[in-house]
Amino acid sequence: MTYNPFAELSATIPAAAMQAYVVLMFILVVAGTLLDVMHKKSAKYFFEHAKKAEAARTREVGSGEKVAVLTKTIAHDVLTSAELLSPRRRTAHLLTMYGFVAFAVTTVILVFSHASADASAPGIVTTLWHLGALAVCIGGYWFWFVIRVDVAAEGNPWYRLVRADLFVLSLLATTTFALLWSIAQASGAGALTTLLFALFVISSTVLFGGVLWSKFAHMFFKPAAAFQKHLAEADGSMDNLPPPADRPETFGLGIKREMPRHY
């Protein structure tokens, strides 16, 4: 847990090259998110929905109440994912989310501050790097092989793949190969270490470079949508907005539609 794989890597790949790769991945995430917004017209949708809600509101929401709504959104929808009513799904989601945050942040710290043979990384940083990757694996594989295939949830076979699965699969591949690469390098596995590192880089490139084709950008849209919803509930516009065309109780020409079995 306290082993720093990037320090050993600096013997063959300069720290500057690792740092340039991390910066490139950040740029790809930003560019992919902006392209996703333009392609799906998400910003236009939020703006138009906000205009309709403003016209339909029944009371003014003060700045103090807006701060309270924002705090509620962060605590309820972001930090605890309480909108996911299934305890199993929420636990798997939180493990994956917090694991990814810990893994990504500590990767940046290790690459920019401790990616040299003579730089000793604090044990807490390397431990969080490994634990973050492990948490992603536990939550992600639990979701993919247990929750996703459960008929009470989604009922999809584990081998059924769609484009939206690119995010979770590339994330699982990135953290899995990162852990295996660290173990192999610490054990002096030689050629196996090189192979696992190559797979780690490829999977992480797919993860951060495939934002436009995956659900990665969903992480940024979800809090904004939740805040807008809670604000509409506070100013009364939620009750005065017209119902969506596809209402939960009907579909198409009045055909009965069951509520989803998962949340």
Q: What is the value of pTM for the model shown?
A: 0.79
**Is 118 within a domain?**
yes
Mean pLDDT for the stretch of residues 199-207: 97
Instruction: Tell me: pLDDT of 257 over 60.
Output: no
**Is 22 within a domain?**
yes
**Is 263 within a domain?**
no
**Is 181 within a domain?**
yes
Q: How many domains does the chain have?
A: 1
State whether residue 250 is helix, strand or coil: strand
**Is 99 within a domain?**
yes
pLDDT digits (tens, 9 = 90+) for 42-57: 666 666 666 776 667 7
Which domain covers residue 107, as residue numbers?
5-256
pLDDT digits (tens, 9 = 90+) for 142-192: 999 998 887 666 777 878 888 778 889 999 999 999 999 999 999 988 899
**Is 262 within a domain?**
no
Instruction: Convert 39-70 to b/e letters by CB count within 10 Å (16 or more is b).
Output: eeebeeeeeebeeebeebbeeebeeeeeeebe
Mean pLDDT for the stretch of residues 114-120: 77
**Is 198 within a domain?**
yes
**Is 217 within a domain?**
yes
